[in-house]
Amino acid sequence: MAKTRVLFLCIGNACRSPMAEGFARTYGADVLHAQSAGLAPALAVAPLTHHVMLEKNIDLGDCYPKELEHVDGPVDLIINMSGHDVPAQNGEQVELWEVRDPIGESDEVFRQVRDQIEQRVLQLIERLRSRKPAASETASQPALSQVDTQRRPTRQ
- Is residue 146 a contact partner of residue 154, using CB atoms and an 8 Å limit? no
- Is residue 110 a contact partner of residue 39, using CB atoms and an 8 Å limit? no
Q: How far apart are CA 16 and CA 39, in angstroms?
A: 12
Kindly write down the DSSP assignment for every residue of 29-69, as one continuous string.
Answer: TTTEEEEEEESS--SS--HHHHHHHHTTT---TT----BGG
> For 19-41, what is each residue's pLDDT tens digit?
999 999 999 999 999 999 999 99
Q: How far apart are CA 46 and CA 103, in angstroms?
A: 8
- Domains of the chain in start order, with CATH, are 4-139 (3.40.50.2300)
- Helix, strand or coil, per DSSP, at residue 74: coil
Indicate the residue type of 125: I
> Which pLDDT does position 139 carry in this prediction?
43
Name the strand (E) or helix (H) holding 110.
helix 107-130
> Which pLDDT does position 140 carry in this prediction?
44
Question: Can you give the pTM of this predicted structure?
Answer: 0.82
Q: How far apart are CA 47 and CA 116, in angstroms?
A: 19
Name the strand (E) or helix (H) holding 19.
helix 16-28
Residues 60-89 as b or e (16 or more Cβ within 10 Å = b): beebebbeeeebeeebbbbbbbbeeeeeee
> For 51-87, what is each residue's pLDDT tens digit?
999 999 999 988 899 998 899 889 999 999 999 998 7
